[in-house]
Amino acid sequence: MSINLSESIWTVICFLVLLIVLKKLLFDPLLRHMDARGARIASAQEALDRAEKEQRSAEEDKEAALERRRSDDEAALRTARDSLNARLAQERETARREAAAQRQEMQARFASAEPEEGFAETAESLARDLADQWLGRR
């Protein structure tokens, strides 16, 4: 078993030729494809990061707008409640004054009123009717 030099050289030459052909036809296109895919993935990741950042910003803007609206609504509600309470207090005071005026008017009328004629007869008749109803005569 001896080493044949010419066969070894031809083996090395065939290996190198095969390596060059595979590099040109297989490895270079494969590397270009993988680099392009990596670039697409990186750009998609950047777009995703931008979209997430925009979404967070939009959510923060939405929360700020909701908080402003909530505070505006609370202020409007407070104003409406205060005006309603003031109006109710005014209405109560007006009703108290009217009731006091009516009470004074009724007291004056009662003090100046003379008993009506026939009041005793009417009272007696009513008492009799009431007694009859109570005793079950009717």
In a domain, 123, yes or no: no
Domain of 85, in residue numbers: 7-114
In a domain, 122, yes or no: no
106: pLDDT strictly greater than 80:
yes
Distance separating alpha carbons of residues 8 and 55, to the nearest angstrom: 66
In a domain, 73, yes or no: yes
Check residue 112 and give its pLDDT.
74
Distance separating alpha carbons of residues 127 and 106, to the nearest angstrom: 26
Q: How confident is the model at residue 114 (pLDDT cuts 50, 70, 90)?
A: low
List, for residues 51-102, the tens digit of each pLDDT value. 999 999 999 999 999 999 999 999 999 999 999 999 999 999 998 898 888 8
Residues above pLDDT 90, as percent of the chain: 66
pLDDT higher at 130 or 80: 80
Mean pLDDT of 105-110: 80
* Domain count within the chain: 1
Question: In this structure, what token pair is assigned to residue 20?
Answer: 């060059």
Check residue 137 and give its pLDDT.
65
Residue with tokens 């494969």: 30
Distance separating alpha carbons of residues 55 and 20, to the nearest angstrom: 50
In a domain, 136, yes or no: no
In a domain, 50, yes or no: yes
In a domain, 121, yes or no: no
In a domain, 65, yes or no: yes
In a domain, 62, yes or no: yes
> Which of left, alpha, beta for 118 (phi over 0: left; psi -120 to 50: alpha)?
left
Check residue 138 and give its pLDDT.
53
Check residue 107 and give its pLDDT.
83
Check residue 118 and give its pLDDT.
66
